[in-house]
Structure 1
C-alpha cells in the first residue's frame, strides 16, 4: 500500500489558509498576526524577576513600613540616599556611560512598584526622572553623575490654587520637579523662595511652601511627563498590593466567633475586590510601560489608563484594608492609615482621576 499524504498536504486542504476557500469544506481557523504575538509578551522574564527579588529583599529588610512609627526614623531613607543610589535603583534605565545599569523603563517600573510597597519617599521618582531629563540635555552630565552617586536628589512639588508650590521632602534636595498642566519643569533650589513649613496629611513626609522666583533649569517633554506619571503609578500599584496583602494576612489572624474573620463572606468579597483591582492595575501598568518604551501608537492613552487604574487601586485597597482591620486600622499601632495617606499624596503628584479621565476622553484611541 502506498503511503498516505499528510493531512495538511492533501488536496482537500488546498488554499486552507484562506477564509472560506471554495476548495475547503471548513472555515479556516483564525491565526494571530506576528505583531499581536509579540505584544502579548507582557509578563516579566526571569532576569526581570531576579531584579524584583533583589529589590524586594532590600526594601523589606532595610525599609519596613513599621519604621514610620518611630519619630526619629520617619524619613530614614533620605539620609541613606547615597546607598540607594549606589545600588543603581535610581538610574537603572540610564546608559552605563552616564552611570546607569543600561536597562529599560520596564525594569525601572518594577523597581518602583517595590518602592511603593515600602512607602519609599516619592523623592525617588523625582530624582530618577530628573536624571533622564537632564541626560537628554546639554552640559548636564555633572548633575546626572551626582544623581548616580547619590549626592544630588530632586524633590517633587505640586502647585496650589494660589500659585505657590508645596515641595515634598525637600530637605537637602538640590532640585525641585513640578508637574502641572503645562508639563514637567525642573528648578534649582535658588529659583524658589521658601515660605515656611506646611502641615502634611501624611506625617511620614515633609512639606514646605515655596514660591517660584526664577526660570526652570530644564523643561521636560510630553514623554518625560508620562515617564514621571508611570513611575508614580508603579508606586501606587505597589501600595495597593501591599494594602491588599496586609488585609488578607489580618483576615487570617483575627479570630471572631471562633473563626478567622477571613472565612466570613463580607471579608472574602472585600479582599477579592482588592485582588481584582490590583491585578487590573498591574496588568495595565505593564502594557502601558511596554507601549511607552517601544513608542507604540496610542501610548499616551495607555499611560493615562494605567494611572487611572493605579490610583483607583491604591485608594480603594488602602481604605479597604482599614475596613478589614476595623477600628484598630485607624490607630498608630497599625500601618493601614499610612497607606491611605500616602495614596492621597501620590494621587496629587501623578494627577487625580479627573485629570486622567479628561485625558482619556480627548486622547486618540490606539488602533
Structure 2
C-alpha cells in the first residue's frame, strides 16, 4: 500500500491551501462572509465526493485536511457524505443527536441535515423557522430541533466510516493549524532579547505538537487507503485515525494557547479558535473503544 501522495493529489492539496489562505483565512473564522458557501460550491468541494466525480478516499482526506486547517464550515462534512450516499446535493447541515434534541451546525439555507443519529448515519428535514445562534465554536452556528423528526437512515456502514474519515481529516488540519500558529509565534515573540522559541521548554512543546500532527496524518492516510481498498480492517483504521486526530487537535490546541500565553485566550487572538473547533470535532462520529478493542477480523 503506497501512502505517498502522487503529483495530482499534491497539486490539488496545494491549490486547496492557496485558495483557503486567500479567501478563507483562519483569522476571519469568527465572521465568515455571507457569500462563502456559494464560493465553496463553485470550487467543487461541496459535491466533490459524489459518485460521478469518481474521487477516491485518499484524495478526499488530503483535501479535507487542508480545509480543516482553515476551520472550513463543518457543513462541508455532512454535505460531502450526503453527496455520495443520498439523493441530496448542495448544502446539508451537520446533525448531532443529543439526549432530548438534535443539534444542527451550519444550518443556514439548508433544508436537510445529516449526521450520527441513534448510532446510525441518517438525515432529517430542517424546519424553516429553525432559529440559529453562535455556538461555542465561533466559526459555526448552532440550532436545535426540539421535536423528534423522522430519520431517513443510510443502511450502508461505509457511510459512517466515510463521515468519520472526513471528520478525522478536519481534526488533522486543526492540529496542523495549531502547530503552525505556535511555531510562528515562537519565532516572533521575544523575551530577554531572544525569540521565545530559542528556549528549550518552548522547543519541546512545539516539537511534541509536530510529532502529534505527523502521527495523526500518517494514520489518516493509511485509513483512507484501507477504506478505498475495502480492507477487512478498514473500520479499525478509520476509528484509530479519528482517535489520534482528535487527540492531536485537542493537545495541540491547548499547547498553542500555552505558547501564546495569556493573549492566546483572548478574543483578539486566534489560538482559542483551534481549540474550540477541536472540542466540537471530537463529538462528531466519535471513535468507539469497542471498535478499537475488537478482535481482528
Which TM-score applies when normalising by structure 2? 0.94
Mark the runs of 5 or more structure 1 residues left unpaired by the alignment: 1-38, 135-139
Hey, what does 1:111 align to over in structure 2?
Answer: 63
CA offsets 1:23-79 (integer angstroms, 9 cap, x no match): xxxxxxxxxxxxxxxx1x10211110000011010000000011135xxxx132x63
Hey, what does 1:24 align to over in structure 2?
Answer: none
Instruction: Pick from 34, 58, 61 the counterpart of residue 19 of structure 2.
Output: 58
Instruction: Pick from 74, 96, 103 the counterpart of residue 158 of structure 1.
Output: 96
What CA distance in whole angstroms lies between the structure 2 residues aligned with 1:199 and 1:173?
16
Q: Is the 8 A contact 2:108 2:132 kept in 1?
A: no
The structure having more radius of gyration, on CA atoms, is 1
Hey, what does 2:120 align to over in structure 1?
Answer: 183
Hey, what does 2:199 align to over in structure 1?
Answer: 264
Mark the runs of 5 or more structure 2 residues left unpaired by the alignment: none
Matches within 5 A, 1:290-309: 290-309=225-244
Q: Is the 8 A contact 1:308 1:357 kept in 2?
A: no
Q: Is the 8 A contact 2:168 2:241 kept in 1?
A: yes
Hey, what does 1:68 align to over in structure 2?
Answer: 29
Which TM-score applies when normalising by structure 1? 0.77
- Shift of the 90–197 alpha-carbon distance from structure 1 to 2, 3 Å rule, reads closer
- Shift of the 56–199 alpha-carbon distance from structure 1 to 2, 3 Å rule, reads closer
335-344 or 172-181, which deviates more: 172-181
What CA distance in whole angstroms lies between the structure 2 residues aligned with 1:258 and 1:229?
46
What CA distance in whole angstroms lies between the structure 2 residues aligned with 1:211 and 1:154?
19
CA offsets 1:237-292 (integer angstroms, 9 cap, x no match): 00101100110011111111111110111101101110110000000000000000
* 2:279 aligned with 1:356: no
- Tell me which of the two structures has the higher relative contact order, counting C-alpha pairs closer than 8 angstroms and 6 or more residues apart: 2
Q: Is the 8 A contact 1:322 1:336 kept in 2?
A: yes
Aligned length: 297
1:220 Cα deviation from its structure 2 partner: 4.2
271-280 or 218-227, which deviates more: 218-227
What CA distance in whole angstroms lies between the structure 1 residues aligned with 2:241 and 2:162?
12
What CA distance in whole angstroms lies between the structure 2 residues aligned with 1:338 and 1:80?
19
Matches within 5 A, 1:241-260: 241-260=176-195
1:365 Cα deviation from its structure 2 partner: 2.7
User: What's the secondary structure of 1:61's corresponding residue?
Assistant: helix
Instruction: Pick from 41, 62, 65 the counterpart of residue 85 of structure 1.
Output: 41
Matches within 5 A, 1:170-209: 170-190=107-127, 194=130, 196-197=131-132, 200-209=135-144
CA offsets 1:196-227 (integer angstroms, 9 cap, x no match): 55662123211111034442344242110010
